[in-house]
């Protein structure tokens, strides 16, 4: 007799596993990947490396530190390079895989850590990134080395002294650039440089030391070797001293022999992620028009390796490209792209022509690798499963699920079906959305609604959005119908749709959202008097905007939102975002930005409003939430604020697990007070 399934709970967050970064061995027999789990005891996350055999699905765990990622196969397939933080700072390790049971050994011991390993074509060297400041680079160039401690006591003293000196360097903290903080920490004066290091055993002296190829106060992107091993391709800002330096990036070619660098692209576009073709004839990369920035599609482009005019391959495809890989014979580029709620896999010839879908389905692919024989490994989420690894053998028409990371958990719980719906906005534009019925749904009954609005604004949600799987299913398990959609401004529907809210946040997309609510109400299962609205980041902006312009919702939870555009400009790590989205700097037209800010309508908010924000949110600093709280409170509205320490803008996706659970609990408790039973 089959065991009766139970509704998903808030604590099921701890049960969900994720598969990341698949990499196929050169012989095609194995896929290395990262298996990520939530560690309830440590209130954090564990990442370990696994291998899976492509012929029979046999799985082998090969690391257990809980701090391992970025697996990269050697060209001969005998060794895996990977990054591990098992010894505090991330370093690159080598693990022999030909002989089972081998122990990883550290290849690097960089003072500030090392990441992004890339094997040379002959396997004799690995290129990597390591953060170093100007003084550290000068010391490195002089050959000066710190004396090696004689024992553990001296090593402990040496580390404590370095930590103390580092702390004193930033007391007080001197700010000289924008941004000066990002993520959940302040930026320092270190920048990622490119190094190469030999991989042979038993090297001594200078032969064993990493050799730095770059010397600029700017972050370099992941290194990519050319097929002849003579050059490394990378990207770097063209304006190292400018604000938001990553906004204008160019492709560079660096000679491995002496570090001579050549800029390959001009300043007409911002260029990222160069990939040389296996035959050495082309360089593929992604770019966008500088003046359009986040408003435009990310184009897949190729240029001749010997120099020449770049060619955009996806202009007519009219979608942003994401992960990109070359086929082994250089005949095509394979890439992922978001479209109409799914993220699927496509290919296009470097000579141009039509884009062809090669892996389609109701899923979101978020990891991709290609074998020389044409087989594809990818990770993906579906409406029923937040993350697994898939394999599509060369010539096959169907993909095979290789892992069952969430099988045991999913066998225990009720996963509500996701239903698609489409409708026309008031101006006739077609909008796509989805809904889930509450657990225990009975036809003819009406239920409260949890209406979710996505952030970005230029992102795409769909039924397979893995970061929302638990949240949406939890809302349904708590008795709520769940609804979400992609209003104008979102990705996945073409450049014009993506740019449809330019200079008109709230104005152009609120009709899309409200017409979606009307279309859902017409289905007859939602109680119009018990509707809640929520969203984070831009979704927080829209939540506050909506309740500032209508009283149709009984409750609102606005998370990490932008509420005062001029204040946001002066505190965020992306100040040019305001100019890009609205066409003005704050001093040029303060009235325009005020009228476009939810805070201007805060005195009209009568919907009970819960604000959720993190103390270390440096994308949308908590000051935006504090101001909205004060405006609503002082104008007589019902408002409460929940402040999370430690976490940043990514609280809901990768914050401390305990805080993620608390966030969901506060949200649903607020819904229940105002929507749980008919008032």
- Burial annotation 197-208 (CB, 10 A radius, 16+ → b, else e): bbbeeeeeeeee
Residue 475 tokens read as: 């809302």
CA nearest 641: which of 658, 620, 653, 624?
624
Q: What is the pLDDT of residue 416?
A: 98
Show the CA angle centred on residue 546, arms to residues 426 and 453, nearest 5°. Answer: 85
Residue pair 588/651 in contact (Cβ under 8 Å)? The answer is no
Q: What is the pLDDT of residue 1?
A: 43
Residue 587 tokens read as: 């001093």
Residue 471 lies in a domain: yes
Relative to beta strand 299-304, strand 282-289 is: antiparallel
Residue 516 exposure: Cα atoms within 13 Å on the Cβ side: 27
User: Which H or E run includes 167?
Assistant: helix 152-169
Residue 305 tokens read as: 């390796």
Structurally, the chain folds into a number of domains equal to 1
pLDDT digits (tens, 9 = 90+) for 453-480: 999 999 999 999 999 999 999 999 999 9
Higher pLDDT, 301 or 291: 301
Work out the number of other CB atoms within 10 angstroms of the CB of residue 118.
20
Dist CA 597 CA 511 (whole Å):
17
Query: What is the radius of gyration, based on Cα positions, of the chain?
Result: 26
CA nearest 456: which of 221, 193, 649, 241?
649
User: Which H or E run includes 46?
Assistant: strand 44-53
Span 194-220, average pLDDT: 92
Contacts of 136-141 spanning 24+ positions with Cβ under 8 A = 136/111, 136/112, 136/190, 137/193, 137/212, 137/215, 140/212
Residue 602 tokens read as: 């805060």
Residue 335 exposure: Cα atoms within 13 Å on the Cβ side: 29
Higher pLDDT, 19 or 238: 19
Q: What is the pLDDT of residue 587?
A: 97
First to last CA, the chain: 42
Contacts of 382-386 spanning 24+ positions with Cβ under 8 A = 382/464, 383/415, 383/417, 383/418, 383/463, 383/464, 384/410, 384/415, 385/410, 386/16, 386/18, 386/466, 386/469, 386/470
pLDDT digits (tens, 9 = 90+) for 576-606: 999 999 999 999 999 999 999 999 999 999 9
Residue 484 tokens read as: 């979400």
Residue whose token pair is 């399934």: 5
Residue 135 tokens read as: 């003084």
pLDDT digits (tens, 9 = 90+) for 257-267: 999 999 999 98
Q: What is the pLDDT of residue 158?
A: 84
Peptide linkage before 557 cis (omega within 30 of 0): no
Dist CA 343 CA 352 (whole Å):
22
Residue 180 lies in a domain: no
Residue 556 lies in a domain: yes
Residue 635 lies in a domain: yes
Residue pair 474/422 in contact (Cβ under 8 Å)? The answer is no
Dist CA 257 CA 5 (whole Å):
62
Span 340-367, average pLDDT: 96
In the predicted structure, residue 285 carries a pLDDT above the cut 90: yes
Residue 628 lies in a domain: yes
Which range marks the domain in which residue 510 is found?
416-675
Strand partners, 231: 255
What is residue 177's three-state secondary structure?
coil
Dist CA 336 CA 443 (whole Å):
39
pLDDT digits (tens, 9 = 90+) for 124-177: 999 999 999 999 999 999 988 888 888 988 888 888 888 898 899 999 999 988
Q: What is the pLDDT of residue 245?
A: 86
In the predicted structure, residue 385 carries a pLDDT above the cut 90: yes
Q: pLDDT confidence of 101, banded at 50, 70, 90?
A: low
Span 5-20, average pLDDT: 98
Q: pLDDT confidence of 86, banded at 50, 70, 90?
A: very high
CA nearest 439: which of 478, 482, 385?
478
Strand partners, 250: 236
Dist CA 388 CA 405 (whole Å):
6
If 0-12 CB within 10 Å is exposed, 13-18 middle and 19+ buried, where does residue 136 land?
middle
In the predicted structure, residue 351 carries a pLDDT above the cut 70: yes
Q: Residues near 443 by Cβ (< 8 Å), separated by ≥ 6?
A: 525
Residue 230 lies in a domain: no
DSSP state of 4: P
Residue pair 622/613 in contact (Cβ under 8 Å)? The answer is yes
Residue whose token pair is 């290919």: 347
Q: What is the pLDDT of residue 678?
A: 47
Residue 242 tokens read as: 């400018």
Relative to beta strand 30-39, strand 18-24 is: antiparallel
Mean pLDDT of the chain: 95
CA distances from 157 to 90, 504, 511 (A): 21, 58, 63
What is residue 562's three-state secondary structure?
coil
CATH number of the domain enclosing 620: 3.40.50.1820
Residue 518 lies in a domain: yes
Span 44-73, average pLDDT: 96
Dist CA 136 CA 142 (whole Å):
10
Dist CA 20 CA 407 (whole Å):
17
Could you tell me the pTM of the whole model?
Answer: 0.96
Beta strands in 187-293 (DSSP E): 191-198, 211-212, 224-225, 231-237, 249-255, 261-263, 269-276, 282-289
Residue pair 117/74 in contact (Cβ under 8 Å)? The answer is no
pLDDT digits (tens, 9 = 90+) for 631-672: 999 999 999 999 999 999 999 999 999 999 999 999 999 999
Residue 568 lies in a domain: yes
Displacement of CA 391 from its chain's centroid (Å): 23
- For the chain, the helix, strand and coil percentages under 3-state DSSP, each to the nearest 5: 20, 35, 45
Percent of the chain with pLDDT over 90: 89
Q: What is the pLDDT of residue 99?
A: 63
DSSP state of 593: H
CA nearest 642: which of 395, 490, 652, 634?
652
Q: What is the pLDDT of residue 2?
A: 58
Span 428-443, average pLDDT: 98
Residue 554 exposure: Cα atoms within 13 Å on the Cβ side: 20
DSSP state of 417: P
In the predicted structure, residue 422 carries a pLDDT above the cut 50: yes
In the predicted structure, residue 315 carries a pLDDT above the cut 60: yes
């Amino acid at each position: 007799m089959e065991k009766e399934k139970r509704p998903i709970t808030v604590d099921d967050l701890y049960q969900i596993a994720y598969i990341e970064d698949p990499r196929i061995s050169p012989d095609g027999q194995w896929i290395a990947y990262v298996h990520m789990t939530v560690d309830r005891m440590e209130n954090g996350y564990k990442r370990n490396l696994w291998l899976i055999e492509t012929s029979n699905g046999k799985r082998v765990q090969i690391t257990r530190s809980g701090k391992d990622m970025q697996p990269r196969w050697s060209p001969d397939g005998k060794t895996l390079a990977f990054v591990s933080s098992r010894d505090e700072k991330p370093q690159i390790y080598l693990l022999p895989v030909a002989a089972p049971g081998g122990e990883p050994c550290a290849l690097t011991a960089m003072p500030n850590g090392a990441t992004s390993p890339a094997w040379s074509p002959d396997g004799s060297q690995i290129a990597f990134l390591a953060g170093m400041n100007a003084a550290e680079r000068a010391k490195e160039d002089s050959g000066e080395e710190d004396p090696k401690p004689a024992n553990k006591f001296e090593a402990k003293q040496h580390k404590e002294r370095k930590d103390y000196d580092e702390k004193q360097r930033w007391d007080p903290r001197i700010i000289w650039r924008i941004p000066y903080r990002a993520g959940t920490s302040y930026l320092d004066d270190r920048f990622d440089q490119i190094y190469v290091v030999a991989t042979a055993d038993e090297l001594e002296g200078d032969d064993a030391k990493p050799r730095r190829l770059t010397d600029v106060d700017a972050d370099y992107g992941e290194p990519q070797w050319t097929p002849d091993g003579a050059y490394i391709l990378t990207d770097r800002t063209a304006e190292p001293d400018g604000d938001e330096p990553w906004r204008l990036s160019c492709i560079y070619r660096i000679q491995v022999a002496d570090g001579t660098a050549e800029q390959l692209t001009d300043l007409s576009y911002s260029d990222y992620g160069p990939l040389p073709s296996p035959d050495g004839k082309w360089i593929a990369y992604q770019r966008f028009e500088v003046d359009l920035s986040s408003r435009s599609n990310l184009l897949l482009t190729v240029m001749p390796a010997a120099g020449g005019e770049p060619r955009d391959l996806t202009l007519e495809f009219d979608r942003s490209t994401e992960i990109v890989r070359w086929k082994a014979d250089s005949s095509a580029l394979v890439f992922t792209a978001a479209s109409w709620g799914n993220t699927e896999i496509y290919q296009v010839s470097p000579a141009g022509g039509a884009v062809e879908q090669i892996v389609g389905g109701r899923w979101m692919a978020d990891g991709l690798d290609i074998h020389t024989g044409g087989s594809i490994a990818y990770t993906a989420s579906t409406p029923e499963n937040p993350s697994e690894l898939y394999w599509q053998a060369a010539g096959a028409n169907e993909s095979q699920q290789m892992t069952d990371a969430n099988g045991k958990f999913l066998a225990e719980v009720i996963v509500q079906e996701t239903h698609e719906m489409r409708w026309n906005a008031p101006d006739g534009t077609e909008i796509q959305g989805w809904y889930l019925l509450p657990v225990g749904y009975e036809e003819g009954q009406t239920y409260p609604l949890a209406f979710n609005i996505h952030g970005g604004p230029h992102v795409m949600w769909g039924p397979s959005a893995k970061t929302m799987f638990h949240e949406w299913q939890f809302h349904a398990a708590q008795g709520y119908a769940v609804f979400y959609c992609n209003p104008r401004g979102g990705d996945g529907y073409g450049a014009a749709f993506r740019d449809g809210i330019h200079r008109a946040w709230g104005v152009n997309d609120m009709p899309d959202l409200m017409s979606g609510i009307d279309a859902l109400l017409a289905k007859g299962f939602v109680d119009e008097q018990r509707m809640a609205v929520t969203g984070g980041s831009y979704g927080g902006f829209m939540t506050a905007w909506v309740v500032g312009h209508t009283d149709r919702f009984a409750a609102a939870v606005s998370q990490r939102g932008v509420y005062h555009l001029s204040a946001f400009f002066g505190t965020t790590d992306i100040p040019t975002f305001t100019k890009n989205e609205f066409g003005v700097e704050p001093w040029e037209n303060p009235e325009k930005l005020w009228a476009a800010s939810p805070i201007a309508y805060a005195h009209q908010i009568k919907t009970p409003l819960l604000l959720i924000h993190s103390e270390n949110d440096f994308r949308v600093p908590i000051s935006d939430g504090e101001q909205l709280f004060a405006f609503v409170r002082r104008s007589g509205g019902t408002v409460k604020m929940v402040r999370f320490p430690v976490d940043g803008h990514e609280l809901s996706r990768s914050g401390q697990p305990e805080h993620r659970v608390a966030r969901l609990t506060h949200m649903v408790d607020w819904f229940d007070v105002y929507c749980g039973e008919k008032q």
